[in-house]
């Protein structure tokens, strides 16, 4: 039986429907708003596995080209591996939903939201979050939801809920907020130097819509919800728990505060090994072994949180607002166009900037429409950065962190018109212990400035943490520049990037519900102080772009020609422009408005092509002085090329005020000389007059 609920938003209705599609899934919901629609399904494996210490959930968001009436480009006309955008939306759904599954369920869960219609006006990702949550809510899978999401824009001084693509493009803010009816749990997005107060206002607006969407899902659940499957909690408890706890706790309290990530890890491992050897017989059982490991994680959790809340004591000895030592270096690599090393404590990013031409732009072909990006950022997190062996490659983590760093820097990257290069930044994480994505933002700024990219302002980023106690968070501590352990054991992890004047990038994951406005206000203010501190250190190394780009970078020149000269430049079948490109080894683009862009491997090639083009499109002007080249000497004068392909005659009588016997007494073939164009006769011939060096200098 088909069940449907609706919610009016402006002139359109948001529709949630179940019972018509994908009826063999544990749960399936079709969501539609305007011309955009998503079908989200959820399935669970048939058997449970006891004793899991994680929730085995995967989210695979995918977009079909037919949704926008398109056929995939290239040779293969079938959708293939997930695009970056699909991976980012999958993370958007996964992060707020994952904590709401009960670990005791023990079954594999797969959520598959599919965009099957796109009007290219309303983004489908918000629909995908709502549909995914609704599908799980009405299914027989235990879930402590529902959750919902909302995009907030800030356009012309007003907040806009779920803006269209056009409004997103025009706005100064674009964030996606996800959460429950009790409060938001995840925020991410970018902005154009907005204030902390404006950001807080956007969060409040988002919560209103999220609460309404959660109520809408509950309405559908009342109509079509299934009885939930039973949990499979572990019935066995750890033997000798009190004895292990009493012996291990004092040793763990010492080990947890050993300075240095690996030394601390080794100290904790030593305590664990000592106790494991003592209770070796008991731990031969796999379940007991898992419970033993869980007890040590619980001890570490309690020790670190208690130390921060009760003693303001962090594992590395810093105060709550202290930033680890920072060092910045630029021009560390000989051939790349710009390079930098940004180090903050045990986190280090090697950032490299490469300048390319318009031909190097990132071409995006998806259901949102074809578009190009002239700023690209790639983030790599190799296993050696944490001292481990592992597979190399680009996973969801790399794509997510890279996207955050890109969005944080993008508002300060100059436009194509201001800087005609394509800019690619690659952040190679050399070490990691706390927020390598924000290190990538800082390193990205440094390497672009070193490469001569005229950034509007430098950008820095900082990762913040939160530890709370009590149902109403009567006691809490906000941490600046968190370590990996503080991220893992804390209640909130949020990253803020921006300039000295405002926020450009934001990402937050909250593990508790209903974080108060007071906490958020203090956290953002503390993050701003940290950001300004880091910017101050970065500015000591480089605060303005290098005066010129690297000699190894391409040379790009732009020039304007008359629209009626475009045909002359291109020539029949492109013959002339192709010949110039081949002669100088350059690429020439001509726009309809007469803008000609020349891309060359070096200055010599670009300048040569530019001079040739000027010769073709420029008309000689009477009275103008040119630096010409003597091509041929005759008895009666010399033919001088004043523009590429345009020669004039300088009569022997025009070489000197006194009579000379021969032109060769004054000039030689191949010599460059200053000449003045006296006239263009009826036959189009150019008559020139020689100007000696002193006269030319005075003019």
Q: Tell me the mean pLDDT in the region 220-241.
A: 89
- Summarised one tens digit per residue, pLDDT across range 183-215 is 888 999 999 999 999 999 999 899 999 999 999
Boundaries of domain holding 394:
326-541
Tokens of 212: 């309404």
Rg (CA), the chain: 33
CATH of the domain at 440: 3.30.230.70
Examine the domain organization and report whether 575 and 537 are in the same domain.
no
Examine the domain organization and report whether 23 and 134 are in the same domain.
yes
Examine the domain organization and report whether 142 and 256 are in the same domain.
no
Residue 680 pairs with which residues in a beta bridge? 686
What's the confidence (pLDDT) of residue 167? 92
What's the confidence (pLDDT) of residue 696? 46
Helix (H) or strand (E) holding 606, with range, is: helix 603-617
Burial of 80 (0-12, 13-18, 19+ CB in 10 A): exposed
Give the alpha-carbon dihedral of 537, 541, 545, 551, to 10 degrees.
-150
- Summarised one tens digit per residue, pLDDT across range 429-458 is 999 998 899 999 999 999 999 999 999 999
Residue 695 pLDDT level (bands cut at 50, 70, 90): low
Q: Tell me the mean pLDDT in the region 415-428.
A: 93
From 224, 227, 213, select the one nearest 143 (Cα to Cα): 227
Q: Phi first, then psi: what are they for 273, rounded to 5°?
A: -65, -40
Per cent of the chain over pLDDT 70 is: 99
Per-residue pLDDT for 411 more than 90? yes
Residue 298 lies in a domain: yes
Q: Beta-strand (E) ranges in 45-147?
A: 57-59, 62-63, 109-117
DSSP per-residue string spanning 58-84:
EE--EE-GGGGT----SS--S--SPPH
| Coil vs helix vs strand at 323 | coil
Domain boundary among 182, 199, 224: 224
Domain boundary among 474, 506, 541: 541
Residue 34 lies in a domain: yes
Helices 261-278, 241-255: crossing angle, 10 deg rounding:
160
Distances (CA, A) of 288 to 237, 268, 403: 8, 19, 41
Lowest-pLDDT range, 417-431, 618-632, 664-678?
618-632
What's the confidence (pLDDT) of residue 648? 93
Q: Are the CB atoms for 10 and 34 separated by under 8 Å?
A: no
Per-residue pLDDT for 697 more than 60? no
- Summarised one tens digit per residue, pLDDT across range 234-256 is 778 888 989 999 999 999 989 98
Examine the domain organization and report whether 534 and 396 are in the same domain.
yes
Examine the domain organization and report whether 604 and 689 are in the same domain.
no
Task: Output the CA torsion sign for 663, 667, 670, 675.
Answer: negative
Examine the domain organization and report whether 432 and 293 are in the same domain.
no
Examine the domain organization and report whether 354 and 438 are in the same domain.
yes
Burial of 437 (0-12, 13-18, 19+ CB in 10 A): buried
Mean pLDDT (the chain) is 90
- Summarised one tens digit per residue, pLDDT across range 91-131 is 999 999 998 999 889 899 999 999 999 999 999 999 999 99
What's the confidence (pLDDT) of residue 286? 82
- Summarised one tens digit per residue, pLDDT across range 142-171 is 999 899 999 999 999 999 999 999 999 999
Q: Tell me the mean pLDDT in the region 688-693.
A: 80
- Summarised one tens digit per residue, pLDDT across range 627-663 is 888 999 998 999 998 877 788 999 998 988 888 889 8
Residue 306 lies in a domain: yes
- Cα 252–chain centre separation: 39
Residue 694 pLDDT level (bands cut at 50, 70, 90): very low
Examine the domain organization and report whether 493 and 378 are in the same domain.
yes
- Summarised one tens digit per residue, pLDDT across range 452-509 is 999 999 999 999 999 988 877 778 899 999 988 888 888 888 899 999 999 999 998 8
Q: Which of 26-40, 390-404, 666-680 has the highest mean pLDDT?
A: 26-40
Distances (CA, A) of 170 to 116, 154, 160: 27, 9, 11
What's the confidence (pLDDT) of residue 693? 46
From 513, 512, 495, select the one nearest 504 (Cα to Cα): 495
């Amino acid at each position: 039986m088909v069940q449907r609920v609706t919610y009016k938003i402006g002139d359109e209705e948001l529709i949630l429907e179940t019972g018509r599609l994908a009826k063999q899934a544990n749960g399936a919901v079709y969501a539609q708003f305007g011309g955009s629609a998503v079908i989200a399904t959820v399935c669970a494996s048939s058997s449970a596995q006891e004793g899991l210490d994680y929730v085995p959930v995967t989210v695979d968001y995918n977009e079909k080209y037919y949704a926008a009436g398109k056929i995939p480009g290239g040779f293969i006309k079938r959708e293939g591996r997930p695009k970056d955008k699909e991976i980012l939306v999958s993370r958007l759904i996964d992060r707020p939903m994952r904590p709401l599954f009960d670990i005791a369920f023990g079954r594999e869960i797969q959520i598959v939201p599919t965009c099957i219609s796109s009007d290219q006006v309303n983004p489908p990702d918000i629909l995908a979050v709502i549909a995914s949550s609704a599908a799980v809510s009405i299914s027989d899978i235990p879930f402590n939801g529902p959750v919902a999401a909302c995009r907030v824009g800030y356009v012309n001084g007003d907040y806009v809920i779920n803006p269209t693509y056009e409004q997103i493009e025009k706005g100064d803010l674009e964030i996606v907020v996800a959460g429950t009816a009790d409060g938001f749990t995840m925020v991410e997005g970018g902005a154009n130097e907005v204030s902390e107060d404006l950001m807080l206002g956007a969060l409040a607006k988002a919560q209103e819509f999220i609460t309404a969407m959660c109520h809408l899902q509950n309405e559908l659940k009342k109509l079509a919800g299934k009885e939930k499957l039973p949990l499979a909690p572990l019935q066995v408890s750890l033997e000798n728990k009190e004895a292990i706890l009493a012996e291990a706790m004092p040793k763990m309290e010492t080990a947890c505060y050993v300075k240095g990530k690996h030394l601390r890890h080794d100290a904790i491992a030593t305590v664990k090994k000592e106790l494991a050897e003592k209770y070796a017989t008991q731990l031969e059982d796999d379940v007991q072994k898992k419970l033993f490991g869980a007890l040590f994680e619980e001890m570490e959790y309690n020790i670190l949180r208690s130390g921060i809340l009760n003693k303001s004591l962090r594992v590395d000895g810093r105060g709550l607002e202290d930033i680890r030592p920072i060092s910045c270096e630029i021009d560390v690599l000989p051939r790349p166009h710009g390079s930098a090393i940004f180090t903050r404590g045990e986190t280090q990013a090697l950032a490299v900037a490469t300048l390319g031409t318009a031909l190097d732009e990132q071409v995006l072909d998806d259901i949102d429409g074809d578009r190009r990006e002239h700023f690209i950022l790639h983030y790599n997190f190799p296993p050696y950065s944490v001292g481990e062996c592992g597979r190399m490659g680009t996973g969801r983590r790399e794509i997510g962190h890279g996207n955050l760093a890109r969005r944080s820097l993008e508002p300060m990257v100059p436009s194509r018109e201001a800087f005609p290069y394509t800019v690619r930044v690659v952040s190679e994480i050399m070490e990691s212990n706390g927020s390598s994505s924000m290190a990538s933002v800082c390193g990205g700024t440094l390497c672009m400035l070193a490469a001569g990219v005229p950034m509007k302002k430098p950008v820095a980023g900082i990762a913040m943490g939160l530890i709370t106690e009590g149902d109403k968070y009567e006691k809490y501590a906000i941490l600046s520049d968190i370590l990996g352990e503080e991220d893992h054991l804390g209640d909130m992890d949020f990253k803020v990037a921006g300039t000295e004047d405002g926020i450009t990038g934001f990402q937050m994951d909250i593990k508790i519900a209903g974080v108060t406005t007071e906490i958020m206000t203090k956290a953002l203010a503390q993050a701003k102080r940290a950001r300004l501190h880091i910017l101050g250190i970065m500015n000591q190394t480089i605060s303005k772009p290098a005066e010129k780009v690297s000699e190894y970078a391409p040379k790009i020149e732009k020039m304007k020609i008359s629209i009626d000269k475009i045909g002359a430049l291109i020539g029949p079948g492109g013959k002339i422009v192709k010949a110039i490109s081949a002669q100088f080894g350059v690429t020439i683009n001509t726009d309809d408005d007469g803008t000609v862009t020349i891309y060359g491997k070096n200055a010599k090639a670009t300048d040569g092509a530019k001079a040739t083009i000027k010769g073709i499109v420029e008309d000689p002007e009477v009275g103008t002085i040119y630096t010409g080249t003597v091509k041929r000497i005759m008895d009666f004068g010399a033919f001088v090329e004043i523009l590429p392909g345009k020669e004039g005659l300088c009569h022997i009588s025009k070489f000197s005020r006194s009579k000379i016997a021969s032109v060769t007494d004054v000039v030689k073939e191949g010599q460059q000389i200053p000449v003045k164009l006296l006239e263009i006769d009826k036959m189009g011939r150019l008559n020139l007059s020689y100007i000696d060096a002193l006269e030319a200098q005075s003019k």
